[in-house]
């Protein structure tokens, strides 16, 4: 009796394997997109929290400095003048305060300092907001430049100060030595600050806050 060969049916066809690979690829792509989306959102939240923290530190530090302004020979010294960086104007805030942080070891504690807030580039060419200070015993008008300091905010797009005198009139600049009569030897009654920083997700982020000067009220 001749032998009969029986075919064993089973396994997967090439088409079935290709379909399975396709389904697996779609599933993995979906998982990958989900994870990358989560990571992106996490980075954005982290960046936003960092920016909020930085802005909070700046406003808190500035408010503390402005809250401890001291006069020189009976008159306050408080200036805000414009400077130009790459054809764009930025204000330079300069005043006398007892909020001396003693950034250098050899500096004396509890002294009076000339404090500057200004926008300048760091070593990498990024526009940053800097706080600088120098112990002073004479008029601020005799100081040419304060070097050093530390960054209080990075990636600055713009910053502006609006100063209000006792009558409520607004000014973009202030000069207690040679400004209008409402400014000579006097502090602004209030300061309104607008800080704009770069944001990779939204292009820019704006922080607004009114900061009052106690001695000027």
Kindly state whether residue 143 falls inside one of the protein's structural domains. Answer: no
pLDDT of residue 217: 37
Kindly state whether residue 170 falls inside one of the protein's structural domains. Answer: yes
> What average pLDDT score do residues 100-105 get?
64
| Single pTM value for the model | 0.73
Which DSSP string corresponds to 136-188? Answer: -SS-GGG-------EEEESSEEEEEEEEE-TT--EES-EETTTS-TTTTT---
Kindly state whether residue 197 falls inside one of the protein's structural domains. Answer: yes
SS3 (DSSP) at 70: coil
pLDDT of residue 202: 57
Kindly state whether residue 128 falls inside one of the protein's structural domains. Answer: no
Kindly state whether residue 62 falls inside one of the protein's structural domains. Answer: yes
Kindly state whether residue 164 falls inside one of the protein's structural domains. Answer: yes
Residue range 151-209, pLDDT digits in tens:
888 888 899 999 999 888 999 999 998 888 889 888 999 899 999 888 766 556 777 77
pLDDT of residue 93: 94
Residue range 24-46, pLDDT digits in tens:
777 777 777 666 666 566 565 55
pLDDT of residue 29: 75
* Residue 142 reports pLDDT greater than 80: no
* Residue 216 reports pLDDT greater than 50: no
On average, the pLDDT of the chain sits at: 79
> What average pLDDT score do residues 92-105 get?
80
Residue range 54-95, pLDDT digits in tens:
788 888 889 889 888 999 888 899 999 999 998 899 999 999
pLDDT of residue 24: 79
HSE-CB of 141 using CA atoms within 13 angstroms:
10
* Residue 140 reports pLDDT greater than 90: no
Task: Residue 206: name the closest of 194, 193, 191, 189 by CA.
Answer: 194
**Which one has a higher pLDDT value, 126 or 199?**
126
Q: Identify whether the C-beta of residue 155 lies closer than 8 Å to the C-beta of residue 198.
A: yes
Kindly state whether residue 132 falls inside one of the protein's structural domains. Answer: no
Kindly state whether residue 185 falls inside one of the protein's structural domains. Answer: yes
* Residue 214 reports pLDDT greater than 90: no
**Which one has a higher pLDDT value, 139 or 211?**
139
Which domain covers residue 184, as residue numbers? 49-92+150-216
Domain total in the chain: 1
pLDDT of residue 4: 53
pLDDT of residue 104: 53
């Amino acid at each position: 009796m001749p032998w009969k060969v029986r075919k064993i049916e089973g396994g997967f066809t090439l088409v079935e394997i290709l379909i399975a690979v396709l389904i697996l690829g779609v599933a993995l792509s979906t998982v990958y997109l989900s994870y990358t989306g989560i990571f992106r959102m996490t980075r954005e939240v982290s960046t936003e929290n960092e920016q909020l923290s930085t802005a909070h530190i700046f406003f808190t530090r500035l408010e503390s400095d402005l809250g401890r302004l001291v006069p020189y020979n009976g008159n306050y010294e408080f200036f805000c003048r414009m400077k130009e960086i790459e054809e764009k104007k930025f204000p330079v805030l300069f005043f006398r305060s007892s909020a001396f942080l003693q950034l250098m070891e050899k500096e004396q504690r509890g002294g009076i300092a000339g404090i500057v807030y200004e926008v300048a580039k760091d070593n990498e060419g990024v526009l940053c907001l800097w706080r600088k200070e120098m112990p002073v015993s004479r008029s601020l008008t005799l100081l040419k430049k304060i070097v050093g300091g530390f960054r209080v905010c990075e990636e600055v797009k713009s910053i502006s100060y609006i100063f209000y005198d006792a009558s409520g009139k607004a000014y973009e600049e202030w000069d207690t030595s040679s400004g209008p009569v409402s400014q000579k030897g006097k502090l602004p009654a209030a300061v309104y600050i607008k800080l704009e920083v770069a944001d990779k997700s939204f292009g820019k982020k704006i922080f607004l806050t009114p900061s009052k000067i106690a001695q000027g009220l």
